[in-house]
Amino acid sequence: MASHGHNLPFQVDVNQVPENLLSANDQGSRPFPQFQSLNISGAPANTNAISNYNSLQAIIEKRMSQGLNLQFSYVWSHFLDDLDTAGWGSHGGDQFVQNSFVPSANYGNANFDIRNAFRGYGIYQLPFGRNKRFLNNSTLLDAVVGGWQLATTVIVQSGQPFTAVMASGTNSYSLGGTNFKWFPNVIGNPKLQNRGPKQWFNEAAFAAPTPGTFGNERRNQLTGPAFERANLSLGKTFSFTEGIQLQVRADANNAFNHPGFKLPNTQLTVCPSSGTLTAGCSGYGAIATGTSTITDLTDPGRTLQLSAHVTF
């Protein structure tokens, strides 16, 4: 499957200082110096973004037979664009732009670029009780062990892309509005072999650009933690009369208690240029390391629920 989008909205500050005019105190270098930021989306000059999506999709399905029904799907995909948009407020994620005048400079992995995704469900009617393979010759046993059904849903997918950016307090002098972020220069490999919540990427692989210049990092070139979740449920329906039934269920959400981590802190901090070096600083003016910590979860821990429903 593939698709291509063009003439897409590119919501930017059209009053940002052009790259060739960046300098300190450059309000007068704005295209419209009598105004501050002018964030515009939808005008003809700002519907020049593009997107590209390619995917390989596979599904395996077993319809209900011998008490088993399942369907699982796998999708490999790659989604690139200049800027993400969504019709539900902030659900498009971070909208980082460094150069409002060159959409192609922002071209990179989309916020929605989940490279690998495996999802599915399974239902299994346990083989005990009346008309089943085992313990099928006793009304008493059937009332206790017959008719139980086990179900599961599974999600396993790769992480969400993100961009490392210079922290507030550092500036390229671009006066680029709310979506503007100053990208760092890439000087090494940002991937860590033993990454974890205490440090997700190698901050030392980046350097602060020279003031008045833009960094060379590409948007969304880093990837956050993968997501894994399995839910389990076990239930049975008891029939007392033709019109009265009791359903009992035990549900375990995130049954294996696997943590789902959010994206790490993406703000890069510059070490002081003089005085006492702070924690994580290897030298004056370097990027502080150990700041890419993860402090929150996308998925809570395991929850268990017992329920009973009467229908009549």
- Which of the four pLDDT bands, split at 50, 70 and 90, describes residue 170? low
The yes-or-no verdict on residue 169 having pLDDT over 80 is no
Tokens for 262, please give them.
């959010």
Among 1-10, 15-24, 180-189, top mean pLDDT goes to: 180-189
Q: What is the DSSP string of 177-210?
A: -TTB--PPEE-S----TT-BTTB-S-GGGEEPPP
Average pLDDT over residues 108-129: 94
With tokens 């999802």, the residue in question is 119
- In terms of Cα–Cα distance, which of 237, 225, 230 is closest to 310? 237
The yes-or-no verdict on residue 90 having pLDDT over 70 is no
Percent of the chain's residues with pLDDT above 90: 59
- Alpha-carbon span 148 to 245, nearest angstrom: 14
The yes-or-no verdict on residue 46 having pLDDT over 70 is yes
Residue 46 lies in domain: 2-311
pTM (two decimals): 0.86
pLDDT for 246 equals 87
Contact present, 268 and 286 (Cβ < 8 Å): no
- Alpha-carbon span 253 to 219, nearest angstrom: 35
The yes-or-no verdict on residue 44 having pLDDT over 70 is no
- Which of the four pLDDT bands, split at 50, 70 and 90, describes residue 237? confident
- In terms of Cα–Cα distance, which of 145, 154, 144 is closest to 123? 154
Average pLDDT over residues 1-21: 89
pLDDT for 45 equals 54
The yes-or-no verdict on residue 42 having pLDDT over 70 is no
For the segment 181-230, what is each residue's pLDDT rounded down to a tens digit?
999 999 999 999 899 999 999 999 999 999 889 999 999 999 999 999 99
Percent of the chain's residues with pLDDT above 70: 96
Q: Which residue has the higher pLDDT, 283 or 292?
A: 292
Helix or strand (DSSP H, E) at 283: none
* Total domains in the fold of the chain: 1
pLDDT for 41 equals 62
pLDDT for 300 equals 84
What average pLDDT does the structure give for the chain?
Answer: 89
* Residue 167 identity: A
Contact present, 268 and 166 (Cβ < 8 Å): yes
Least confident of 89-103, 206-220, 244-258, 291-305: 89-103
